[in-house]
Structure 1
């Protein structure tokens, strides 16, 4: 298992810079961080080769499957939580799987590639998984924030300004909505960006055998339509956030939207969603220690009007995030095929 000695301050600065501008060239990253481009390149290469970090392209829900994802909380037979989690991580529909303590033994999110697969997945496949005693699922209605928006607070205002100015050219200019029919070039480019969020138009051009101007237009179109969003994939524990939790909240209907938006602005927020179920809002957050979680539960949540109750599941071991498998906290050497149409 990894520990905090794995990354030094310069590594953490590089991670923080990439979170703000995942597609920034090494020259800009180096200039902002005050190091040489070769030093920045060596550090990034080491983090990638050690399977600690990867810049991917996070696909819009309309690309990764039909319909929105589902939260699933699983109660396992005694002593079988890890086994159940491994079996669920083998499902192509599972984007996130973790062994947890608290409200559930295993927490996962799933998104079927086809809507007609949902019923069997939720009522037969998951409940019939060996070791599963019970499962509860809730449909995600919308997200107030996703994990690509979480940032490591290390950089000064000038560094942030320069990075965000560069990142603005790749930001979505509208909600992705439904993507409709993608062209062959768009589909192939989407697959490349999903695997490597830093891939340039020149690299796309070479990989696909298309003109560089076509590759550039296609890449920018996918990014600006919000169909793929570059993001840094790295375990929160490596960044000093040793405590990760999933908190389903029961909220009065009139307060759902306000509560979700307020939680999305909290520094701990990695993924906040509204759901159709008992848990009106689900907060997936990271904290440096138990004191930070205590402050959040007893003050921040307590001060939110409309919150009537909540449960807490503490993440003990993440086996999969955004369809990327983990091995003892590191990215798996070989990933399973991604779900959905990209």
Structure 2
């Protein structure tokens, strides 16, 4: 399994901060020339170790659907759900539910139909449990590898603030632009204009408007195994409602916390995902939660044995991208 060098991690960290920054700006922040930065990124992407993507959070509600599966059907079900465009991320986990699916749906009615007709009827599914995200304190687009110093981050324009997200309805042209960026958020303005039928000037203007308004989320991703975070743990907590905002703003500053989302459905009301270097770090994280929020209860903890899909990218056992399934809203 390839392992990231320090330079690799710096490069991914730079693109997490500024996914569409010109190579000249990225290179200047890293202290290399543009040709070197470009060459390193091409190597990482060609090996499936890193990539960029884009999506518009305003176009759908997001839900976590957990599937309990017959043991002899888990592999087949894993393949089947990864092929579904509305299922944008998939984890295979320990615990009662072997598959955790993040689903994009237009509304609750569409989500219900997708779960009951497309998921629950798959051969080998024993049980399905659904919860719906209320808002987002942090997701993968907010998480940083943390390898760059404050001066390097400043050179890339990092504000250390979570991404702004909007729920305003979008334009049809915006959706075409999002689709054109989904597989590679660094595509050129010329290519985007050709795909969308917009002028290059319009593409530049819409990109600026949408990203500033939080209507377009750009992110750089990587193989967490190669980068040094082989452990992924998902926690479901019961947090007193009055403490939810404080919990979200506090824990999302912790380097281990990748996702923090209030959820509706079931006995828990908050989901937290952590990327960790070792299993022992999960105990330290739980201790930190208990110390900071003694009234919060960790009701469930699931260890990911394999990340099968992340925001449309199908991954192999080492977290390398091997295919892309464009995400569509159910």
TM-score, normalised via structure 2 length: 0.90
CA distance in 1 between partners of 2:297 and 2:149 (Å): 38
Answer yes or no: is 1:304 the counterpart of 2:304: no
Q: Unaligned 5+ residue runs, structure 1?
A: none
1:44 to 41, 46, 60: 41
* Aligned twin of 1:284: 273
2:167 to 177, 185, 191: 177
CA distance in 1 between partners of 2:154 and 2:7 (Å): 19
Task: Provide the secondary structure at the position in 2 that maps to 1:227.
Answer: coil
* Aligned twin of 1:125: 118
Task: Provide the secondary structure at the position in 2 that maps to 1:325.
Answer: strand
1:92 to 85, 88, 101: 85
Instruction: Assess if the C-alpha contact under 8 Å between 1:255 and 1:305 holds in 2.
Output: no
Please, which moves more after superposition, 23-32 or 79-88? 79-88
* Aligned twin of 1:321: 310
Instruction: Assess if the C-alpha contact under 8 Å between 2:67 and 2:100 holds in 1.
Output: yes
Task: Provide the secondary structure at the position in 1 that maps to 2:137.
Answer: strand
Q: Unaligned 5+ residue runs, structure 2?
A: none
1:229-240 to 2 correspondences below 5 Å = 229-240=217-228
Answer yes or no: is 1:193 the counterpart of 2:186: no
Cα distance, 1:207–1:111 mapped onto 2, change above 3 Å: closer
2:209 to 203, 221, 226: 221
RMSD: 2.3
Deviations 1:76-133 (A, max 9, x none): 1234333322222222221111110135211111122465322222234322221122
TM-score, normalised via structure 1 length: 0.87
Instruction: Assess if the C-alpha contact under 8 Å between 2:235 and 2:298 holds in 1.
Output: no
1:15 to 7, 12, 30: 12
Deviations 1:131-160 (A, max 9, x none): 122121111111111111110121111101
Instruction: Assess if the C-alpha contact under 8 Å between 2:238 and 2:299 holds in 1.
Output: yes
Instruction: Assess if the C-alpha contact under 8 Å between 1:249 and 1:281 holds in 2.
Output: yes
* Aligned twin of 2:56: 59
Cα distance, 1:210–1:73 mapped onto 2, change above 3 Å: closer
